[in-house]
Amino acid sequence: MHGHPLRLILITALVAVAATLVALRWDLVPGVKVQDEAREAFAFAPSGQVTLSDDEEVNVRVYDQVSPGVVNITTRVMVEERYFFRAIIREEDGGTGSGCVLDHAGHILTNYHVVENAASLEVSLPDRTKYKATLVGADPQNDLAVLKLEGAPKDRLHPISLGASDGLKVGQKVLAIGNPLGLQNTLTVGIISSLGRRIETQSGDLVDNVIQTDAAINPGNSGGPLLNTAGEMIGINTSIFTIGGGNIGIGFSIPAATIRRVAAELISDGRVLRPWFGIEGYTINEDLAKLLELPVSRGILVYRIYRGSSAEQADLRGASGVVRWLNNRIGVGGDIITEIDGKAVSSHEELRLLLESKKPGDAVTVTLYRGASRMQKKVPLVEAPQSTQSRRRI
């Protein structure tokens, strides 16, 4: 008799459990169906089926096409230390940068400041293979250098196509690939922010027609390519304007037109053949013009003409006397150069820039003042001396 209530309770519990299972199986409990659908959606959603936008497709295509041709450059430098009046020279890590494969012969384009003072060079390809490299030639004036890999198989080299920089437009999309902070083959995207910028390189030279971009460029990106959406190199990333050392969206690239001219000469001759104007002079400002009673307030007052130079061959004239101004001695009586081929020039750097596109054997028309007389002279350009001392001369 006492067992019947217990049996009844067990039977009732079993019936309740069975009813609950039936309700769940046939979606009779509110809310449970939604949870099951969500669970099934997570469990069975197909993977890898994300549709990329047209813009994303461009990014992926350019990266896949170009990144195999972007390399990492590591340098070693010699350091001299003195201990108890003895000099000890040792080799240590110099730094890293990026580079671009130019051809299957193993030529690599990079910035001069990446390899400056390097005692040895090592280049890592994207497949992680490493090769020694030698410096073929350098052009500090444009912050460019060409290296050559030693023993790199042709099938491991993926040259980057060099595009044109003449028809670029502000607002045009660009992509940068490099190795910022040692993170190999990093892609960043931006636009051309401005064109025709003038920047000063680490060697102190001015470079014209530089591309400005907001694509993120950081330490280690130097020497990497700036690309258009066709995957062509339109510039080589060289420097940034920064506050505190990081990227703030103002980066600069040497244009393809300069790369094409300079790289070809470095590969063929090991140096860039430049004309030598052969003068030294003063930059004229209003104070100097007033003091010396000059006929113009802008230009270069020539005080020295170098023997054998373009200026000497064209019969330009240097100072014929000296005056004192404050604590300075100023050579006076020389020609005043105001224009080269119709373009105003007022400093040595501007003259150097105007001659940058010229070659030995070319000629320029110089507008100058000799005393109060304005005249023009045709100046044939001769080759610049190779000595280091003459490199900074115009």
Mind listing the pLDDT tens digit for each residue in 171-210? 999 999 999 888 889 999 999 999 999 888 877 788 889 9
Distances in whole angstroms, Cα of residue 187 to Cα of each of 154, 179, 183, 213, 224:
25, 9, 10, 14, 10
Query: How far is Cα 311 from Cα 12, in angstroms, rounded to an integer?
Result: 115
Yes or no: say if 121 and 110 are a contact pair by the CB < 8 Å rule: no
Yes or no: say if 254 and 216 are a contact pair by the CB < 8 Å rule: no
Q: How high does pLDDT run on average in the chain? A: 86
Same domain flag for 81 and 148 = yes
Dmax over Cα atoms in the chain, in whole Å? 140
In the numeric block, which tokens belong to residue 277? 């104007």
In the numeric block, which tokens belong to residue 55? 């813009």
In the numeric block, which tokens belong to residue 237? 């990333």
- CATH number for the domain that contains residue 109: 2.40.10.120
The one-character DSSP state at 342 is T
Q: Judge whether 50 lies within some domain.
A: no
Same domain flag for 128 and 180 = no
pLDDT tens-place string over residues 34-62: 455 545 555 555 666 678 999 999 999 99
Distances in whole angstroms, Cα of residue 261 to Cα of each of 103, 176, 201, 279:
16, 22, 18, 25
Q: Judge whether 191 lies within some domain.
A: yes
Transcribe 366-381 into DSSP letters. EEEEETTEEEEEEEEP
Whose tokens are 């025709």? That residue is 196
Same domain flag for 151 and 231 = no
Name the domain boundary from 215, 236, 269. 269
Residues carrying an active site annotation: 113, 143, 222
Tell me: pLDDT of 347 over 70. yes
Report the pLDDT averaged over residues 318-338: 90
Query: How far is Cα 94 from Cα 120, in angstroms, rounded to an integer?
Result: 9
Cα Rg of the chain, angstroms: 34
Same domain flag for 306 and 323 = yes
Q: Judge whether 249 lies within some domain.
A: yes
**Please, which pLDDT band fits residue 384 given cuts at 50, 70 and 90?**
confident
Same domain flag for 372 and 288 = yes
State the alpha helices, DSSP H only, in 156-235.
none
Whose tokens are 């400002």? That residue is 285
Same domain flag for 149 and 196 = no
Beta-carbon neighbour count of residue 327 at 10 Å? 5
Same domain flag for 213 and 282 = no
Name the domain boundary from 121, 156, 191. 156
**Please, which pLDDT band fits residue 31 given cuts at 50, 70 and 90?**
low
Same domain flag for 244 and 284 = no
Domain of 178 in residue numbering reads as 173-269
Same domain flag for 243 and 333 = no
Distances in whole angstroms, Cα of residue 299 to Cα of each of 65, 265, 341, 360:
49, 31, 14, 24
**Please, which pLDDT band fits residue 373 given cuts at 50, 70 and 90?**
very high
State the alpha helices, DSSP H only, in the chain.
3-25, 32-44, 54-66, 112-115, 256-269, 286-292, 310-313, 348-355, 388-391
Tell me: pLDDT of 390 over 70. no
- CATH number for the domain that contains residue 365: 2.30.42.10
- Of 93, 124, 116, 114, the residue nearest 222 (C-alpha): 114
Q: Judge whether 167 lies within some domain.
A: no
pLDDT value of position 48: 61
- Of 260, 154, 155, 168, the residue nearest 211 (C-alpha): 168
pLDDT value of position 294: 94
Q: Beta 225-227 vs 206-213: how paired, if at all?
A: unpaired
- CATH number for the domain that contains residue 201: 2.40.10.10
Q: Judge whether 28 lies within some domain.
A: no
Name the domain boundary from 203, 235, 269. 269
For the ranges 34-48, 212-226, 231-245, the lowest mean pLDDT is seen at 34-48
Q: Judge whether 93 lies within some domain.
A: yes
Same domain flag for 353 and 286 = yes
Q: Judge whether 25 lies within some domain.
A: no
In the numeric block, which tokens belong to residue 166? 């003449």
Beta-carbon neighbour count of residue 172 at 10 Å? 15
pLDDT value of position 270: 93
Q: How many domains are contained in the chain?
A: 3
Q: Tell me, yes or no, if the pTM score tops 0.85.
A: no
Same domain flag for 284 and 261 = no
Cross-strand partners of 165: none
Report the pLDDT averaged over residues 168-172: 96
pLDDT value of position 34: 47
Same domain flag for 187 and 214 = yes
Q: Judge whether 374 lies within some domain.
A: yes
In the numeric block, which tokens belong to residue 143? 């912050």
